[in-house]
Structure 1
Amino acid sequence: MKLGLSLGYQTAWSTPADHLALAQEADRLGYSVVWAAEAYGSDSVSILSWIAGQTSRIDVGSAVMQIPARTPAATAMTAATIDTFSGGRFRLGLGVSGPQVSEGWHGVRFGAPLGRTREYVDIVRMALSRSRVEYRGEHYTLPLPDGPGKALKLSFRPPRADIPIYLAAVGPKNLELAGEITDGWLAIFYAPDLADGYLASVAAGRARAGRELAGFDVVASVPVATGDDEAACADRIRPHAALYVGGMGSRKQNFYHQIAVRMGYPAEAAEVQELYLTGRQRDAAAAVPHDFIDRTSLIGPKSKIKDGIQRYAESGVTTLSAHLFTPDLPSSVATLRTLAEAYEAAGVG
């Protein structure tokens, strides 16, 4: 198992300079990859391009580039460009986002996410291979049949035609799709004790494509808060968990809420959602079960962090990407170093 760093996206309490400093420290410490996200604020492409130009060894990955935000061809162009000027260090993570962002921000209907994703990845791979892009699908048709468009191919030769593609997935069917058509899974709220179920879905998709699970990158984005007071560490993560379980979506459709339900917290998830959606975010954070955080995060002193790293590795995670919950840049850098030390002590590399 390797270590990675999940930066998320820019917020009111983070700066591009902080993100760059963390990426450079992770590069120095030997982390394998740094990921950037996007929702409806900062985009992942700009941040990763900036970081790639100021690091030397660490891979840069999108977690994710939103499928409704770009055509498949635009995504292929972007991936090929970043991979070229980074010297082959780009990883392309994709996700459909959710209906609120897809339809409210991008103006793209959310229906049939599995079918759209399959066709999208097909076209991206076709473009990256420098084949002429001709596609007749249910959701995408290239070129358009009733106009002057013609089949084109990527006009320059990037260093790799096989840029690794990852899929952000939470449900069993989406996990199967990730296993079938991509090179890795971007996981959130990954509980090692439930890994057999996750990986069975991935393995089913791999088998459908005639491939083994070996070589597939299971990337868990894991909240990390270090310190001697375990409860205080969990409290730093609570608002994040409440936002996703309670506020990312509507009462009818929230994929992260469904994760908590599948983990065995239906009543608690319903309470968190009700509190969050009625404007009581602090109460929602307080209602997140400690056990939910403990099962999906690394919290506490270095010795407990080391044991947790071993647990993730034994469960089948191949890249543990730390999502740091720290109050400032110095403590973030210190946490990166503590995590690297615990990783070495765990002996899972």
Structure 2
Amino acid sequence: MTVPLGGVPLADHAAVYAALDRAGFTDVWSSEVNGADAFTPLALAAAWQPRLRLGTAIAPVFTRGPGLLAMSAAALAEAAPGRFALGIGASSPVLVDDWNAIPFTEPFRRTRDVLRFLQAALRGETVDGAFGTFAVRRFTLERPPAVPPPVLLAALRPGMLRLAAAEADGVILNWLAADDVSKALAELGGRGPGFEVVARIFVCPTEDAGYARTLGRRLITSYLTVPAYAEFHRWLGRESALGPMWTAWAAGDRRGAGSAVPDEVVDALVLHGSPERCRAEVRRYAKAGVDVPVLALLPTPELTSGGAAALGDLIARLGPAGEERA
């Protein structure tokens, strides 16, 4: 599950993490946009639920210096030895440049360089030298983790996917349909032992299809108009399906862009229906080759009106243990 869950204060997440564990969820993965940072929700989970595995999906490679990113990862790996995976990625110009006042330049090379730095630093090595997009002088972690965390790379198109396969411990996929997974995995080629495929999957567990599609269109126009995601979906073969949306968006017609997204695209990228149906659709990703399907739970009318009890019931029905009750 993606954490923190919307509408629940971080201080109240002890009950959320306990419910996820009871429902059979194995992992909690954070994201970092403009809400909580990537590490704090996982630090709380490390203290409150010692069985859950923790992961960042993702910590951007631009918004922290290489040394600080290594320190944050090492601290969490020490707090949850053997249970933490560090997911990193380029993020986007809006988050990096517009919101953090850091130039978003050469994202592929920066991601590659930070990946190489982190792997050395988290092994406890002294890192000294130039990486291409930055240079580090004699950095050594004061407290290198006894169990260095695996470092996974967020990747969309062939270049980054191949870098992940060649140098990272896994890959993190995002904003793709179950039927798209095979195309992405084909670029990974021969992967090393233990290589993990993680995918974030947007789930809106409501049988109000109109509500789910309206929300899905809003998300799609927010994300898939970002150049990297637009090129990703062109590569996946959605030029004809999403071309009208991109045209309207470029012309400043936000309402028209949303209206131009076909139902079938929304339904493929944002799972909706009963919790049981959503769980079955998530299983399609696993069958396609995703090792860790990570649900990103979207708000629904039922959750808004039902409060904590509705959230607890939903978690129970969405989780693997819910198959025994269904």
CA pair 343-186 structure 1, distance change in 2 beyond 3 A: farther
Match of 2:161 among 160, 165, 175: 175
CA pair 302-68 structure 1, distance change in 2 beyond 3 A: closer
Match of 2:212 among 233, 238, 243: 233
Aligned to 1:156: 143
Match of 1:105 among 99, 102, 108: 99
Alignment pair present for 1:337 and 2:323: no
Q: Under a length normalisation based on structure 1, what TM-score does the superposition of the two structures give?
A: 0.80
CA pair 102-167 structure 1, distance change in 2 beyond 3 A: same
Aligned to 1:141: 135
Structure 2: how far apart are the matches of 1:295 and 1:342? 25
Mapped contact 1:169–1:186 kept (Cα < 8 A): yes
Structure 1: tracts of 5 or more residues without a match: 144-150
Alignment pair present for 1:7 and 2:23: no
Alignment pair present for 1:308 and 2:281: yes
What CA deviation, in whole Å up to 9, does each residue of 1:225-252 have, x standing for no partner?
2244445433343322221123xx4xxx
Match of 1:295 among 247, 261, 268: 268
Alignment pair present for 1:264 and 2:260: no
Mapped contact 1:169–1:178 kept (Cα < 8 A): yes
Alignment pair present for 1:185 and 2:194: no
Structure 1: how far apart are the matches of 2:52 and 2:228? 31
Mapped contact 1:170–1:259 kept (Cα < 8 A): yes
Q: Under a length normalisation based on structure 2, what TM-score does the superposition of the two structures give?
A: 0.86
CA RMSD of aligned residues (A): 2.9
Structure 2: how far apart are the matches of 1:324 and 1:85? 26
Mapped contact 2:53–2:84 kept (Cα < 8 A): yes
The one-letter code sitting in structure 2 at the alignment partner of 1:222 is I
The one-letter code sitting in structure 1 at the alignment partner of 2:175 is F
Structure 1: how far apart are the matches of 2:211 and 2:65? 44
Measured after TM superposition, the shift of residue 40 of structure 1 is: 4.0
Measured after TM superposition, the shift of residue 66 of structure 1 is: 1.1
The one-letter code sitting in structure 1 at the alignment partner of 2:184 is Y
Q: How many residues align?
A: 320
Aligned to 1:198: 184
Structure 2: how far apart are the matches of 1:338 and 1:287? 33
Match of 2:51 among 51, 57, 65: 57
Mapped contact 2:2–2:28 kept (Cα < 8 A): yes
Measured after TM superposition, the shift of residue 201 of structure 1 is: 1.0
Structure 2: tracts of 5 or more residues without a match: none
Structure 1: how far apart are the matches of 2:75 and 2:194? 25
Measured after TM superposition, the shift of residue 276 of structure 1 is: 4.9
Aligned to 1:147: none
Structure 2: how far apart are the matches of 1:225 and 1:18? 22
Match of 2:199 among 214, 220, 237: 220
Mapped contact 1:9–1:37 kept (Cα < 8 A): no
CA pair 332-219 structure 1, distance change in 2 beyond 3 A: farther
Mapped contact 1:326–1:332 kept (Cα < 8 A): no
Alignment pair present for 1:26 and 2:13: no
Mapped contact 1:239–1:282 kept (Cα < 8 A): no
